[in-house]
Structure formats: C-alpha cells, structure tokens
Amino acid sequence: MNDLAREEVTMPTAEHSEADAETGPETGINTAGTAVTRAVVRGAGHYLPERVVPNAEFAARLDTSDEWIVSRSGIERRHFAAPGESTSHMAIKAAEMALGNAGISPDSLDAIIVATSTPDLTFPSVATMVQAGLGMTRGFAFDIQAVCAGFVYALAQAQALIVAGSARRVMVIGAETFSRILDWEDRTTCVLFGDGAGAVILEAQPGGGTTGDRGILSSDLNADGRQRDILYVDGGVATTGHAGCLRMQGKEVFRHAVEKLAATARNALDRAGLAPGDIDWVVPHQANLRIIRATAQKLGVPMERMVTTVADHGNTSAASIPLALSVAVSRGQIRPGDLLLLEAIGGGLAWGAVVLRW
Ligand code: UT7
C-alpha cells in the first residue's frame, strides 16, 4: 500500500477485530455501536460499447417484434461489443472511470475482483488483464463466476477481505460479453442480453457499528445446483472444448426469480437490522422489467425507488448491477448516505443480495 492510501484509512486495530468477532464479519452490526471496519464505496464507473442495437434489428431477421420484446422484458435496445472488443477491454474502461471518480491511482488498490462468465480466455483471469491494463504493479487479482449473481458475490468477497484486514482497497468489477455466447437463431434468448461493464472501488473505513454507517452493512448469498439445467451454456473447456451457447427455460427462471429475489432481499435486510421501508434505492439485476416490478411489489417498495436500466442495456449478467449503480450515480439519483439494496439471480441457480449505504 502506498503512503497516500495509508494516510486515508485507519488500520484495523485489536478493538476492531474484537468488535467484528462479537457480531460476525457478515454484518458488522452490533447494538453497542462499537467501532467496526466497513467496506465503503469510494468511486464507481461504467462502460458500454459504442454499438447500440434496437429491437427492430432482431425483428428484421427473426420471428419476433419490438412489441413482444418490450412487453415481455422491458428491453428496448442493448449494446454489443465491436469485433476485437472483449470483456477485459470493457472492464478496464469501467475501472479507469471508477479510479478517476475516486481520485486515486491504480497502485493504491490492493486487489481486483472481476465477476464474469465471459472471460477473454480460459485463463489467465480477466482481473489480471485489468491489473496489467491499468498499469498496476502490486496487489492480487482474481475472477469470480456466479453468472448474473456474480457482482453481488464479488462484493461480499471484497467486504470479507476488507473486514479480515487482507486488503484495504478493492476494485470490484462486473463485465460481460454475452453477445459471444448467444445463439442468434434462438429468439427466446438472443433478444434478451447485452454487453458492458461496471466497477466500484471499496475501501476500509472505520464505522460506528450502526446502520447509519456508510459501506456494506450485510449480505445474503445462495445457490441451488439442482436447478443448473434451467439456465446454462452448452459448452466448456472440459466438455465440448468450445465456449457454447446460452440455453434458458425462461418461464422457470422467471418463477424462481420472483420468489427468491424477494426472499434474499428480506434476509439481507434482516441481517442488517433494517426493513424495506428504510431503503432509498433498490438496484436490481436488470433481466426483466416484469421481475423488477414483481420484486418491488413483494417487498412493498414503490417503483420510483427501483433503479432501472434494462430498457437501454438489456441483461448484461454480472455487469448489470454495477452498470445500473454507476448510471444512477451519474443521473444524480444515488447520493452519498443513501441506503441501497442490490439483488440478483442467475445460472446455477445462484442468487443473493447486499445492503449498503452509499
Ligand atoms: O439473468 C438471468 C436470469 N434470467 C431471467 O431472469 C430471465 C427470466 N425469464 C424471463 O424474463 C421471461 O420468461 C422471458 C422474457 C424469457 C419470456 O417471457 P414469458 O412471458 O415467460 O414468455 P414465454 O417463454 O412463456 O413465451 C411466450 C410465447 C411462446 O409462444 P407460445 O408457446 O405461447 O406459442 C414463445 O415461443 O412467446 C414466444 N416467444 C417469442 N415470441 C416472439 C418466445 N420468445 C419470443 C420472441 N418473440 N423473442
């Protein structure tokens, strides 16, 4: 860690560790309000490829229509990466914007975690490519693969690293090039996805141990591998030797999503000692506007408090939440001190939620 970073954050003390041990590292909440280490957002950024593809482009060559796509999913357009543009390229652009917004240098980061299911190569990780691309010469870097829940999983892991004292500043990125794993003849899937990247920088900061603290307040992670056949990619290194194409039983995934997203959101809020009425913004995974509406209704949160970008981005899997976050910050919707609930579900099935104060 460089001197700048050392000056800006307080090193964890024995007192912090004790407080964390009493309450469990997952929430960091304690009723006594004892000092704890929080993973606080220092900056955010995003990147969308230049090419915008409206629904009409699909309607021109497939048995589909703008009306069907909008009414069933809320998607109006999506961005697709240019030939030669890959997940690491987009991740680097999002990371550079986050660093610029935070006003910090790449070498003040201790770690980079990239959530992706569409890496440039089987290995090395996209995270190491981002590290090199940023000119970062220290720290550690790795990818997380939890499909659409990847960013939520990655945030929880970054928080764990920070609370444990293993890292003080962590760049968490969600980046995807789903256009490379779509079957362009399958109208039930190819109209739904897009490409892009989003990034946030988390930093260790001392908190008072109350729900008023900035930073991650709680998380809830889940998986059920018995449901792996309802959303998967039909290829891979150890089977076909090719990347494969995305396959989805949409109706089944929809059913699980509506039920499980509300449940994980409630679990995360309970752990933080908060209720849906406390939330300023829900930043949901952007798969389908109907799922976002149903989740809002189940939680009793008005649609005005749901951040939605699905109309413009489509489903960008692990990139969808950090993209929506960064866009909402740019729009002036999310402000410092706002209480956010992030939630996502996808292939695995894997799902989860994070409660954080911006
Ligand atoms: O990010 C990971 C998580 N993924 C999700 O959360 C996606 C969850 N699922 C969904 O969002 C929705 O299920 C879809 C948007 C995928 C589909 O909406 P739906 O209301 O569940 O439609 P459906 O699958 O029941 O299909 C209704 C009809 C079918 O025709 P029949 O059998 O009723 O004659 C489909 O063949 O719509 C047909 N259809 C289409 N028609 C025009 C399916 N895709 C299309 C299409 N254009 N692109």
pLDDT for 1 equals 36
Query: If pLDDT is split at 50, 70 and 90, which confidence band does 34 have?
Result: confident
285 is catalytic: yes
Residue with CA nearest ligand 1 atom 30 = 188
Exposed/middle/buried for residue 185 (C-beta within 10 Å: 0-12, 13-18, 19+): exposed
Q: Are residues 238 and 153 in the same domain?
A: no
46 is catalytic: no
The rounded Å distance from CA 261 to ligand 1 centre is 19
Sequence-separated (6 or more) residues with CB below 8 Å from residue 82: 49, 50, 51
* 245-260 pLDDT per residue, tens: 999 999 999 999 999 9
Q: Are residues 197 and 68 in the same domain?
A: yes
pLDDT for 267 equals 98
Q: Are residues 47 and 193 in the same domain?
A: yes
Domain boundary at 207, 235, 259, which? 207
Q: Are residues 264 and 347 in the same domain?
A: yes
Task: Give the range of the structural domain holding residue 123, as residue numbers without chain letter.
Answer: 40-207
Which tokens go with 348? 């695995």
Amino acid sitting at position 195:
D
- Asked whether residue 8 is domain-assigned, the answer is no
- Asked whether residue 163 is domain-assigned, the answer is yes
Measured distance CA(153)–CA(146) in Å, rounded:
7
Sequence-separated (6 or more) residues with CB below 8 Å from residue 189: 182, 183, 246, 247, 248, 250
**Structural Rg of the chain based on CA atoms:** 19
What is the residue-averaged pLDDT of the chain?
92
pLDDT for 291 equals 98
Query: If pLDDT is split at 50, 70 and 90, which confidence band does 30 have?
Result: low
Query: If pLDDT is split at 50, 70 and 90, which confidence band does 3 have?
Result: very low
- Asked whether residue 1 is domain-assigned, the answer is no
Query: If pLDDT is split at 50, 70 and 90, which confidence band does 32 have?
Result: low
pLDDT for 27 equals 45
pLDDT for 322 equals 98
Read off the CATH number of the domain in which 170 is found.
Answer: 3.40.47.10
- Asked whether residue 261 is domain-assigned, the answer is yes
Q: Are residues 127 and 219 in the same domain?
A: no
- Asked whether residue 270 is domain-assigned, the answer is yes
Q: Is the pLDDT of residue 151 over 60?
A: yes
- Asked whether residue 343 is domain-assigned, the answer is yes
Q: Is the pLDDT of residue 13 over 80?
A: no
Residue with CA nearest ligand 1 atom 14 = 250
Query: If pLDDT is split at 50, 70 and 90, which confidence band does 236 have?
Result: very high
pLDDT for 31 equals 53
The rounded Å distance from CA 86 to ligand 1 centre is 28
Q: Are residues 125 and 265 in the same domain?
A: no
Selected catalytic residue, list 148, 190, 245, 267: 148
Residue among 73, 254, 255, 258 whose CB has most ligand 1 atoms within 8 A, to mutate: 254
Q: Are residues 195 and 241 in the same domain?
A: no
Q: Are strands 111-115 and 169-177 parallel, antiparallel or unpaired?
A: parallel
256 is catalytic: no
Helices 87-102 and 320-330: crossing angle, nearest 10°? 40
Q: Is the pLDDT of residue 130 over 50?
A: yes
First to last CA, the chain: 24
pLDDT for 50 equals 98
Q: What is the pTM of this model?
A: 0.92
Measured distance CA(127)–CA(186) in Å, rounded:
31
Query: For the chain, how many structural domains are there in total?
Result: 2
pLDDT for 289 equals 98
Q: Are residues 194 and 259 in the same domain?
A: no
Q: Is the pLDDT of residue 284 over 70?
A: yes
Query: If pLDDT is split at 50, 70 and 90, which confidence band does 33 have?
Result: low
Q: Are residues 322 and 188 in the same domain?
A: no
- CA–CA distances in Å: residue 285 to residues 62, 165, 242, 324: 26, 29, 28, 8
List ligand 1's pocket residues with C-beta within 6 A.
Answer: 64, 68-69, 72-73, 148, 187-188, 191, 250-251, 253-254, 257, 287-288, 291, 315, 345-346
Domain boundary at 172, 207, 242, which? 207
Q: Is the pLDDT of residue 288 over 70?
A: yes
The rounded Å distance from CA 350 to ligand 1 centre is 21
- Asked whether residue 75 is domain-assigned, the answer is yes
Q: Are residues 270 and 347 in the same domain?
A: yes
Domain boundary at 161, 176, 207, which? 207
Measured distance CA(43)–CA(130) in Å, rounded:
17
Q: Are residues 253 and 111 in the same domain?
A: no
Alpha carbons within 13 angstroms on the beta-carbon side of residue 85 total 22
Query: Percent of the chain having pLDDT more than 90?
Result: 90
Query: Percent of the chain having pLDDT more than 70?
Result: 91
- Report yes or no: 261 and 345 within 8 Å, Cβ to Cβ: yes
- Asked whether residue 312 is domain-assigned, the answer is yes
Q: Are residues 200 and 264 in the same domain?
A: no
The 10 Å Cβ neighbour count of residue 192 is 22
Measured distance CA(74)–CA(52) in Å, rounded:
16
